């Protein structure tokens, strides 16, 4: 009965390699975003971060939805980056957990 642990090992590896490199999305609430030029600054700050992909700004809702590689960037790092650009933000939603 040596095959069963081997199969379990292979499965565990397959699952972990999938979760190691996935694109996640986080929505940041940015209350200080008040005019149409704010998103430009925020987007620039976020896209400087390694692993950040699409940045979608919703000026009406004062939110920024960021796609990022979870192996390279972290939500708190994204929130910190907008803060350093002059727009403190909080993590509002993480649809895929975290
Ligand atoms: Cu502005």
- Domain ranges in the chain? 22-93
How many angstroms separate the alpha carbon of residue 34 from the centre of ligand 1? 5
**Per-residue confidence at 93, pLDDT binned at 50, 70, 90?**
confident
Residues with CB under 5 A from ligand 1 (ion): 35, 37-38
Q: Ligand 1 centre from 51 Cα, in Å?
A: 26
Residue 45 pLDDT greater than 60, yes or no: yes
DSSP secondary structure string for all residues of 75-87: HHHHHHHHHHTT-
CA of residue 52 to ligand 1 center, whole Å: 22
pTM for the full predicted model: 0.75
Does the pLDDT of residue 3 top 90, yes or no?
Answer: no
Q: In 3-state terms, what secondary structure has residue 60?
A: coil
Distance 14 CA to ligand 1 centre (A): 46
Q: Can you tell me the mean pLDDT for 70-76?
A: 96
Nearest to 88 by CA among 38, 47, 51: 38
Q: What is the edge-to-edge ordering of all strands in the sheet holding 90-93?
A: 52-58, 63-69, 23-29, 90-93
pLDDT of res. 8: 65
Mean per-residue pLDDT for 66-93?
Answer: 96
The CATH class of the 22-93 domain is alpha beta
* CB-neighbour burial class of residue 55 (10 A; exposed 0-12, middle 13-18, buried 19+): buried
């Amino acid at each position: 009965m040596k095959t069963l642990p081997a199969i379990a090992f292979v499965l565990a590896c397959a699952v972990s390699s999938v979760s190691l490199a996935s694109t996640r999305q986080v929505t940041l609430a940015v209350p200080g975003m008040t005019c149409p030029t704010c998103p430009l600054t925020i987007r620039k700050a976020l896209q400087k971060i390694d692993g950040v992909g699409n940045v979608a700004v919703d000026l009406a809702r004062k939110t920024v939805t960021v796609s990022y590689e979870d192996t390279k960037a972290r939500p708190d790092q994204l929130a910190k980056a907008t803060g350093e650009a002059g727009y403190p933000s909080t993590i509002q939603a993480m649809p895929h957990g975290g």
